[in-house]
Amino acid sequence: MRLDNDRRVEKMPGREMKNNIIEVKNLKKVYKKDIRAVDGITFSIQEGEFFGFLGPNGAGKTTTIKLLVNLVKKTDGSVKLDGFEVSEQPNEIYKRIGLAMQEVGLDETATAREMMQLHGRLYHMQKQEIDDQIKKLLELVELERVADRYVVTYSGGMRRRFDLALSLLHNPRVLFLDEPTTGLDPHARRLIWNHLRALNKGGMTIFFTTHSMGEAEALCERIAIIDKGKIITEGSPKNLIKQYEVENLEEVFLKVTGHSFQESELNLNATDPYVRIRTT
C-alpha cells in the first residue's frame, strides 16, 4: 500500500530520506517516590524504519511511547520528532503520528464509521478525503461490512484492527504501536503483521513494542531492549543474535535482562495500585 505521507504535513527544509525521524537524548521520567520509569535513554530511529522496543513488564516501554507522543511530561532530556521538539510543538507532532495503545480506547457509543468521521474532522481533513480514507482503511482491516455497527459489539480482534485503521486515518508519518497483537488469535495476528509490513513498505516509520520475540524477529529491522528504564542493548535482530552468541532473540532477551519474565514483573505486585500503573 502506497501512503502519501507528505500530503498533509509540511516537510522540514533540507530533510532527506533516511534521516532520523525520531531522536531521543537522555530522556527521563521520574514519578513520585523516585520511581524511575525511564532513566536517561538515548536512541534514534530513521525514517521508514520498523523499530522494535522490547522489554519485560514494567521496564518502561509504555512510558517511553507516552513520552514520545507527549502523553506524559518528561522529567528531563529531549525528544525530537521530524525535527520538532515534542513538548514544545505538540500540535506539529500530533499531525505526524498515529497511536494504538495496549488498551484499545474506543467510543463504545459510536459506530466505526462515526468514529472515523469524527476523527477525520478533528484532524481537519476534508469530507471527501475522510470518506476515501474510511473506505480504504476499513477494507484494509476487513471491517467494511460492519462499519455501521456499534464498536461495543466488536470482538477483541476486530477492535484491535479497527484501532489500527483509526490510527492511520490521517496518514501519519510515524505509527506508534504498543503491543498491538496481544491477545489476538494467530489469524488476526498474521493479518495485522501483513498490514504493518505493507505500511512500512509504503514508507511509514513504525515504532512497535511487543512481548513476543518471534514477532519482533519477524517484523523489525532494528530493536532496542529496555529494562528498569534503561536501554541495555540495541541493533538488528540478526546482529544481536550473533553478538550474544545465541540461537534466537528470546535468548538474547533473557541473557541481557538477566532474569525471567516473572522476576521482572515484581513491580506489578506493588501494594499501591497507582505505583503499579505508573511503573508499567
Partner 1 sequence: MNYFFSDWYYLSIRFIKQIWRPWLALIPALIFPIFFFWVGTQAFASVAQVPGFPTESYLLFIAPLAIFTAIFFGAGNAGIELVVDISSGYFNKLVIMPINKLAIIFGKLTEVAVQATLQGLLVLILLVLFTDARPSTGVLGIIAMFAMIVLFAMAWSNISMIFALQTKNPRLVQSLFIIVFPFLYITTGQMPRALMPEPFHTLVTLNPVTYIIEGARALMLSSWGDPAILKGFLVSIIMFIALTSVTLYSFRKILK
Angle at 45 between CA 67 and CA 19, to 5 degrees: 125
- For residue 234, the minimal CB distance to partner 1 (Å) is 26
Q: Which of 12, 118, 218, 266 binds partner 1 (CB under 8 A)?
A: 118
Q: Which of 15, 42, 122, 248 binds partner 1 (CB under 8 A)?
A: 122
- Give dist(CA 231, CA 215) in Å, integer: 20
For partner 1, the closer of residues 27 and 249 by Cβ is 27
Which of these ranges, 116-124, 180-188, 232-240, 258-266, lies near partner 1 under the rule CB under 8 A? 116-124
Q: Which of 33, 73, 145, 187 binds partner 1 (CB under 8 A)?
A: 73
List binders of partner 1 among 201-260 (CB under 8 A). none
Q: Which of 37, 79, 104, 240 binds partner 1 (CB under 8 A)?
A: 104
Which of these ranges, 38-46, 118-126, 193-201, 228-236, lies near partner 1 under the rule CB under 8 A? 118-126
- Give dist(CA 144, CA 165) in Å, integer: 11
- For residue 71, the minimal CB distance to partner 1 (Å) is 6
As a whole number of Å, the end-to-end CA separation of the chain is 34
Asked if residue 106 binds partner 1 (CB under 8 A), the reply is: yes
List binders of partner 1 among 155-184 (CB under 8 A). 166
Q: Are 141 and 165 in contact (CB under 8 A)?
A: yes
List binders of partner 1 among 183-212 (CB under 8 A). none
Q: Where are the alpha helices (DSSP H) in the chain?
A: 61-68, 90-96, 112-122, 127-140, 156-168, 186-201, 213-219, 237-243, 249-257, 261-264, 273-279
C-alpha cell at 111: 459506530
Alpha carbon 45 to its chain centroid, in Å, reads 13
Q: Which of 23, 39, 85, 107 binds partner 1 (CB under 8 A)?
A: 107
Task: Report the candidate in 206, 196, 181 with the shortest Cα–Cα distance to residue 140.
Answer: 196
- For residue 92, the minimal CB distance to partner 1 (Å) is 8
Q: Are 227 and 201 in contact (CB under 8 A)?
A: no
Chain residues binding partner 1 by CB under 8 A are: 69-71, 73, 91, 94-95, 97, 99, 101, 103-110, 114, 118-119, 121-124, 166
